[in-house]
């Protein structure tokens, strides 16, 4: 256990929110000796989760865009500890990490034993996992998109399905690869749009021999009456038009009843044959949150927090991002599980926590909905931006919308590395694109 010299802030989860917070607190507090900041994550590297559908489609290489926690920690004066967070002892103010294991050719090699880390202030930012809503067969037969490993698995399965299809076609039947995406929120829709380009690019490079438009079918299935049910109708209508132009089929208003290995059955009796099924229909808090020494969680297994982001059960434990249920009184709901919310809350806590450890009163977090942008492939996007006065939103579509969509990620990079590095990084990515295929080919 570390020696206790100054206030110990432990942040668990280095995702869209947690890594920004650790970086800001490292610079503001740890560098000046005002606190000891530790970030814990189960992985050694960070990737911004909203890019996972691009990883799944092969249009983004996670190894190029990843941030190495150890390097980020060294450059920003915080400490990084790799491990799977499995428990809290609130009285002793310690968290518990599972043994760190390295798997090599199916063999597990123990690197570190179970450990405890002491804290004075604990911040939980461990994100969310896929919610299959107990739909029969969904967990067994549908792929989730929670991690880089999930996204890479989907990408490899897609390529192998495309390559194998001609050999598997029966008799004179056309070879077919049928992809079904269950859930037409932002993730499902963005993945569907990316996949059409993926199929075409892989064909252009000779990876497979199918007709990318005729032989690769992409179907999005949504239980609500329209795709993107959480967004304004105009955004939903424009997105549906763009998806149709990309040859994506949409089934709406018919919830999925059962997922089998190669077929999806809906409550309305539809029967959708599939070779690859992806589930993007909802999220919930990770299971560990329900086991944390009496910390109150909601039905969706998120930590119940006040608007200060302090947990309702313990003022020294904060939670934010997808893993927290934070009230949004203006709308009468909780703050939505989105990267922009995690970013705003990280910025808020970077200012609030120094006050907290100095014994001052805490401010109240006010979520500002800046609107939503949905990327449709690599050149266009659709969405609404707030700011039209009296809570009105402005509709956007096209290249400008796509640029604004990309700027969300750029803001994350700025928060991690500063403006100069973020600009150089953007330039480096652009230059790199001139010498590599747009899609990962293997
Ligand atoms: C494909 C996709 C597209 C999306 N697109 C958008 C978008 O366009 N706009 C938008 O606003 N939002 C989008 N989102 C949602 C957005 O990604 C999340 O809201 C955001 O990442 C939440 O940030 P977070 O910090 O709470 O959690 P995350 O970014 O998920 O980070 C959680 C971190 O905790 C770590 N962790 C988890 N469990 C443990 C554990 N037990 N022990 C140790 N570490 C742990 C993980 O490794 C991870 O690093 C998208 C999500 C997906 C999947």
What pLDDT is recorded for position 168? 85
What pLDDT is recorded for position 308? 98
State how far the Cα of 68 lies from the Cα of 250, in Å rounded to an integer: 39
Distance 412 CA to ligand 1 centre (A): 13
- Long-range contact pairs involving 26-34 (C-beta distance under 8 Å, separation at least 24): 26/73, 26/76, 26/77, 26/78, 27/76, 27/77, 28/350, 28/354, 29/353, 29/354, 29/357, 30/77, 30/78, 31/76, 31/77, 33/6, 34/6, 34/7, 34/354, 34/357
State how far the Cα of 95 lies from the Cα of 86, in Å rounded to an integer: 8
Closest Cα to atom 50 of ligand 1: 50
8 Å CB contact between 375 and 190: yes
What pLDDT is recorded for position 1? 46
Size of the chain, expressed as the number of residues it contains = 442
Three-state DSSP at 101 gives strand
Distance 435 CA to ligand 1 centre (A): 30
State how far the Cα of 394 lies from the Cα of 309, in Å rounded to an integer: 30
Q: Which of 49, 123, 342 to mutate to test the pocket of ligand 1 (most atoms within 8 A of CB)?
A: 49
Q: Which ligand 1 atom lies nearest to the CA of residue 374? A: 8
Q: What residues in the chain have per-residue pLDDT under 70? A: 1-5, 387-391
Closest Cα to atom 49 of ligand 1: 15
List, in order of start, the domains of the chain with CATH numbers. Answer: 8-128+285-357 (3.50.50.60), 138-279 (3.50.50.60), 371-433 (no CATH)
What pLDDT is recorded for position 271? 95
Distance 3 CA to ligand 1 centre (A): 31
What pLDDT is recorded for position 393? 80
Chain-centre distance of CA 433, in angstroms?
A: 24
Q: Which of 155, 153, 138 minimizes the C-alpha distance to 57?
A: 155
- Per-residue pLDDT tens for 198-249? 999 999 999 999 999 999 999 999 999 999 999 999 999 999 999 999 999 9
Distance 50 CA to ligand 1 centre (A): 7
């Amino acid at each position: 256990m570390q020696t206790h010299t100054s206030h110990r802030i432990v942040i668990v989860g280095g995702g869209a929110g947690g890594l920004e917070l650790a970086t800001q607190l490292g610079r503001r507090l740890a560098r000046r000796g005002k606190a000891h900041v530790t970030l814990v994550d189960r992985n050694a590297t960070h990737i911004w989760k909203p890019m996972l559908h691009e990883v799944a489609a092969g249009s983004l290489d996670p190894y190029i865009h990843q941030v190495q926690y150890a390097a980020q920690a060294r450059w920003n004066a915080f400490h990084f500890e790799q491990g799977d967070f499995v428990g809290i002892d609130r009285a002793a103010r310690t968290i518990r990490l599972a043994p760190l294991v390295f798997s090599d050719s199916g063999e597990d090699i123990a690197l570190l034993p179970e450990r405890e880390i002491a804290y004075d202030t604990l911040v939980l930012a461990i994100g969310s996992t896929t919610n299959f809503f107990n739909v029969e067969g969904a967990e067994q037969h549908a792929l989730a998109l929670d991690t880089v490993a999930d996204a890479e698995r989907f990408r490899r399965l897609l390529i192998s399905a495309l390559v194998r299809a001609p050999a598997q076609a029966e008799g004179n039947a056309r070879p077919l690869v049928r992809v079904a995406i269950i859930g037409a929120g932002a993730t499902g829709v963005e993945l569907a749009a990316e996949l059409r380009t993926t199929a075409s690019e892989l064909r252009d490079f000779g990876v497979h021999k199918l007709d990318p438009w005729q032989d690769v079918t992409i179907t999005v299935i949504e239980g609500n009456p329209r795709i993107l049910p959480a967004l304004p109708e105009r955004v939903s209508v424009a997105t549906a038009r763009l998806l149709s132009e990309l040859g994506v089929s949409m089934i709406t208003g018919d919830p999925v009843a059962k997922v089998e290995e190669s077929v999806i059955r809906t409550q309305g009796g539809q029967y959708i044959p599939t070779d690859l099924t992806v589930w993007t229909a909802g999220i919930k808090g990770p299971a560990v949150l329900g086991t944390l020494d009496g910390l109150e969680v909601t039905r969706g297994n998120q930590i119940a927090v006040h608007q200060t982001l302090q947990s309702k059960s313990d003022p020294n434990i904060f939670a934010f991002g997808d893993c927290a249920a934070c009230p949004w009184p203006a709308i009468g709901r909780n703050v939505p599980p989105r990267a922009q919310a995690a970013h705003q809350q990280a910025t808020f806590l970077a200012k609030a926590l120094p006050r907290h450890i100095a014994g001052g009163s805490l401010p109240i977090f006010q979520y500002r909905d800046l609107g939503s942008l949905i990327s449709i492939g690599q050149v266009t996007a659709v969405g609404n931006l707030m700011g039209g006065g009296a809570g009105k939103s402005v509709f956007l579509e096209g290249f400008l919308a796509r640029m604004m969509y990309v700027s969300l990620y750029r803001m994350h990079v700025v928060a991690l590395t500063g403006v100069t590095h973020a600009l150089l990084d953007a330039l480096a990515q652009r230059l790199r694109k001139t010498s590599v295929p747009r899609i990962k080919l293997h």
